C-alpha cells in the first residue's frame, strides 16, 4: 500500500474531529472533515475516500443515513460509526445499515487504530475483487452470453484456438479468459504482437538465442516459447507473420520443440497456442499470403468476437463498468451517464469497439464536472466516412428526455447535403476533422502511424489536431 490512503471524518464536535485527524494522520492517512451530513455529502461528491468515520448524532440528521448512502454509492468503502458509550441499539442499527464497525465515545485511541487498520485491509480486498471483475468479459447480449459459454467449453481442451474480430472487440481478453479458465491457469500467459517484431529479430524472439550466435547476442536468451512453457502463447496479429517465419512456427507447434538460434539441439516446450487477428485469414490463405497448413493448425477451434455495434445493448453495462474502474483509479466517485449520453453512445457505431469506448469515457470523465456525464462530455466523432455535420453530433442542448421520447437521431443518417449554406472553410475543416479522426481510429490513436497514413508530417498532424480541437 504505497499510495496515500484517505479518510472522511464526520463529527459536529470540533475536539473529536481534531483527535481523529491527529490519530489517522499519524497512521499516514490524509483526512478531510465535515461537521454535518450536508458537508459530508458534498465531499463525497467530489472525492473518494478509503474510509469514513461518522458520528451517529449530527446536527442535520443521523449518521445512519450516511452509512446507507455510502453502502449503496461506494460499495467497497468501509464506514464506521462513533456512538455514545453504552448505546448498543444504535451500534446494532449501524451494523445493520452496512457499517463495518463502531467505536464508543470517549474514543479509545488503541481501539480506533485497530479499527482503521482493519477497515483499510477490508477496502483493499474489495478493490482487488473489483479489479478482478474488471478483467472479466462483460456483456449480457445473446452474442456475449454464447461467447462466454463457448469459452468455458474451449478452456477445458488443449486445442489451439483462433480468435477473429475487429480491432478492440476484446480478442486478447477472450484469450486471457480461455487461459484463466483452463488447466494451464497457474502457468504463464505470454502475449506477443506478431506485427511489432522486426523480421530480422523474429526467430530469436520466438525461439531464443545462445550467447555469441550473432552480433549483439551478449548472453543466452530464452525465447517466447520457453517463456510460455507450461502455459499459453498468444499470437496476436498472427496475420502479420512473414511467410518464412510461418514455416518455422508451424514446425515448432507440430514438433512441440524449438531450437534457439545458435543452439546445438532442440528444446522441448509444452505450450498451448491461441492466436488472433482482425483480418480475414481465409482470404489471406487464398491469396497465398498465409500458409494453409499453419492456418489449419492454429484454427482447430475458431471463435468470433462480434463488433460492439452489433451488441449495442451491452453499452450501458460496459460503460458503467469502465467508468467505475476509471473513477476508482482516480479516487473519484463514478459519475452516471445521463439519458442523452446513453442514447448518443447507442447511436454511435464504435469502429474502434470497446477500446474506443474506453477512450471516449476516459476523456469524458476528465471533462465532466459533476456527478453525471452528458452527451456533450462524450465528444463523439462523426461516424467514419460521413462528413461531420455543422452542429456537434449530439449537442446536449436538448432538454432532459421525458420518458418514451425517441433518442436523438443516429448521426450516421445525417446527409452530407445538410452542410449546404455553411461557410466553405468550416465545411472543409469538418471534412478534415472526420478524415483525421477516422485515421486515428484505424491506427489505434498512434499519431506517428496516423500522420504516415494521412501523408503528412507528425508536426503537421500535431498542428491540425490542435487547430481542429481534436485531442
Binding map of ligand ATP across residues 303-322, x = CB under 6 A, - = no contact: ---------------x----
Does 278 participate in binding ligand ATP (rule CB under 6 A)? yes
Longest dimension (CA), the chain: 82
Does 168 participate in binding ligand ATP (rule CB under 6 A)? yes
Provide the CA 69 distance to its chain's centre, in angstroms: 27
Beta bridge partners of 304: 164
Helices (H), ranges, 74-207: 88-97, 109-134, 142-156, 171-181, 202-207
Does 177 participate in binding ligand ATP (rule CB under 6 A)? no
Give 270: exposed, middle or buried? Use CB within 10 Å, 0-12, 13-18, 19+: middle
Closest CA to 71 of 61, 83, 81: 81
**Residue 113 vs 355, nearer CB to ligand ATP:** 355
Q: What is the smallest separation between the CB atom of 354 and ligand ATP, expressed in angstroms?
A: 3
**Residue 93 vs 236, nearer CB to ligand ATP:** 236
Does 464 participate in binding ligand ATP (rule CB under 6 A)? no
Q: Candidates 35, 78, 123, 170: give the one binding ligand ATP (CB under 6 A).
A: 170
Piece of 84-92, 133-141, 207-215, 222-230 that binds ligand ATP (CB under 6 A)? 133-141
Give 309: exposed, middle or buried? Use CB within 10 Å, 0-12, 13-18, 19+: middle
Closest CA to 341 of 274, 426, 398: 398
**Residue 353 vs 437, nearer CB to ligand ATP:** 353
Piece of 98-106, 137-145, 219-227, 385-393 that binds ligand ATP (CB under 6 A)? 137-145
Q: Candidates 65, 124, 172, 432: give the one binding ligand ATP (CB under 6 A).
A: 172
- Count helices and strands (H / E) in the chain: 19, 16
Does 173 participate in binding ligand ATP (rule CB under 6 A)? yes
Q: What is the smallest separation between the CB atom of 439 and ligand ATP, expressed in angstroms?
A: 15
**Residue 137 vs 217, nearer CB to ligand ATP:** 137
Alpha-carbon distances of 86 from 103, 104, 422, rounded to whole Å: 11, 8, 75
Does 63 participate in binding ligand ATP (rule CB under 6 A)? no
Binding map of ligand ATP across residues 328-367, x = CB under 6 A, - = no contact: --------------------------xx--x---------
Secondary structure element (H or E) that encloses residue 20, with its range: helix 14-26
Q: How far apart (Å, rounded) are the C-alpha atoms in residues 102 and 121?
A: 16
Does 12 participate in binding ligand ATP (rule CB under 6 A)? no
Q: Are 373 and 336 in contact (CB under 8 A)?
A: yes
**Residue 82 vs 194, nearer CB to ligand ATP:** 194
Secondary structure element (H or E) that encloses residue 62, with its range: strand 61-62
Mutual orientation of helices 88-97 and 63-73 as an angle, nearest 10°? 20
Site for ligand ATP in 223-242 (CB under 6 A): 236
Q: Candidates 95, 137, 267, 312: give the one binding ligand ATP (CB under 6 A).
A: 137
Q: Are 82 and 11 in contact (CB under 8 A)?
A: yes
Cell for 15? Answer: 475536539
Does 138 participate in binding ligand ATP (rule CB under 6 A)? yes
Piece of 12-20, 170-178, 196-204, 290-298 that binds ligand ATP (CB under 6 A)? 170-178
Q: What is the SS3 assignment for 462?
A: helix
Residue nearest to ligand ATP (CB): 170
Cell for 369? Answer: 464536472
Q: What is the smallest separation between the CB atom of 185 and ligand ATP, expressed in angstroms?
A: 18
**Residue 103 vs 144, nearer CB to ligand ATP:** 144
Does 325 participate in binding ligand ATP (rule CB under 6 A)? no
Q: How far apart (Å, rounded) are the C-alpha atoms in residues 209 and 259?
A: 8
Piece of 166-174, 217-225, 251-259, 419-427 that binds ligand ATP (CB under 6 A)? 166-174
Residues forming the site for ligand ATP (CB under 6 A) = 137-139, 165, 167-173, 236, 278, 318, 354-355, 358
Amino acid at each position: 500500500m504505497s499510495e496515500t490512503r484517505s479518510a472522511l471524518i464526520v463529527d459536529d464536535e470540533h475536539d473529536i474531529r481534531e483527535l481523529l485527524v491527529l490519530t489517522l494522520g499519524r497512521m499516514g492517512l490524509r483526512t478531510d472533515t465535515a461537521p454535518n451530513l450536508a458537508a459530508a455529502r458534498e465531499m463525497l461528491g467530489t472525492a473518494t475516500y478509503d474510509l469514513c468515520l461518522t458520528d451517529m448524532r449530527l446536527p442535520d440528521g443521523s449518521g445512519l443515513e450516511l452509512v446507507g448512502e455510502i453502502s449503496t454509492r461506494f460499495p467497497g468503502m468501509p464506514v464506521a460509526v462513533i456512538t455514545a458509550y453504552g448505546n448498543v441499539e444504535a451500534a446494532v442499527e449501524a451494523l445493520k445499515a452496512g457499517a463495518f464497525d463502531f467505536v464508543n465515545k470517549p474514543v479509545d485511541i488503541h481501539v480506533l487504530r485497530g479499527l482503521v487498520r482493519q477497515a483499510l485491509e477490508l477496502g483493499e480486498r474489495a478493490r482487488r475483487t473489483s479489479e478482478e471483475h474488471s478483467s472479466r468479459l462483460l456483456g449480457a447480449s445473446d452474442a456475449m452470453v454464447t461467447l462466454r459459454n463457448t469459452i468455458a467449453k474451449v478452456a477445458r481442451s488443449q486445442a489451439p484456438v483462433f480468435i477473429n474480430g475487429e480491432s478492440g472487440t476484446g480478442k486478447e481478453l477472450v484469450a486471457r479468459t480461455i487461459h484463466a479458465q483452463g488447466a494451464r491457469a497457474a502457468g504463464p500467459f505470454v502475449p506477443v504482437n506478431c506485427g511489432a517484431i522486426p523480421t530480422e529479430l523474429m526467430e530469436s524472439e520466438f525461439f531464443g538465442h545462445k550467447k555469441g550466435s550473432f552480433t549483439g547476442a551478449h548472453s543466452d536468451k530464452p525465447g517466447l516459447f520457453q517463456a510460455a512453457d507450461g502455459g499459453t502463447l498468444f499470437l496476436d496479429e498472427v496475420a502479420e507473420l512473414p511467410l518464412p517465419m510461418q514455416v518455422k512456427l508451424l514446425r515448432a507447434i507440430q514438433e512441440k520443440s524449438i531450437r534457439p538460434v545458435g543452439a546445438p539441439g532442440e528444446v522441448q516446450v509444452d505450450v498451448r497456442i491461441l492466436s488472433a487477428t482482425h483480418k480475414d485469414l481465409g482470404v489471406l490463405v487464398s491469396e497465398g499470403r498465409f500458409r494453409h497448413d499453419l492456418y489449419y493448425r492454429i484454427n482447430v477451434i475458431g471463435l468470433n468476437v462480434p463488433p460492439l455495434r452489433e451488441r449495442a445493448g451491452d453499452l450501458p453495462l460496459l460503460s458503467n463498468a469502465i467508468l467505475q474502474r476509471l473513477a476508482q483509479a482516480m479516487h473519484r466517485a463514478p459519475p452516471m451517464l445521463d439519458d442523452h449520453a446513453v442514447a448518443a453512445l447507442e447511436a454511435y457505431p464504435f469502429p474502434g469497439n470497446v477500446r474506443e469506448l474506453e477512450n471516449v469515457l476516459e476523456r469524458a470523465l476528465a471533462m465532466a464536472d459533476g456527478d453525471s456525464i452528458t452527451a456533450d462530455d462524450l465528444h463523439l466523432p462523426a461516424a467514419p466516412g460521413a462528413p461531420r455535420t455543422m452542429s456537434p453530433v449530439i449537442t446536449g442542448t436538448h432538454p432532459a428526455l421525458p420518458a418514451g421520447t425517441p433518442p436523438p437521431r443516429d448521426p450516421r443518417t445525417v446527409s452530407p447535403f445538410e452542410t449546404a449554406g455553411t461557410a466553405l472553410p468550416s465545411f472543409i475543416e469538418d471534412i478534415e476533422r472526420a478524415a483525421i479522426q477516422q485515421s486515428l481510429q484505424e491506427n489505434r490513436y498512434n499519431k506517428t502511424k496516423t500522420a504516415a497514413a494521412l501523408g503528412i508530417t507528425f508536426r503537421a498532424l500535431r498542428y491540425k489536431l490542435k487547430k481542429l480541437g481534436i485531442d
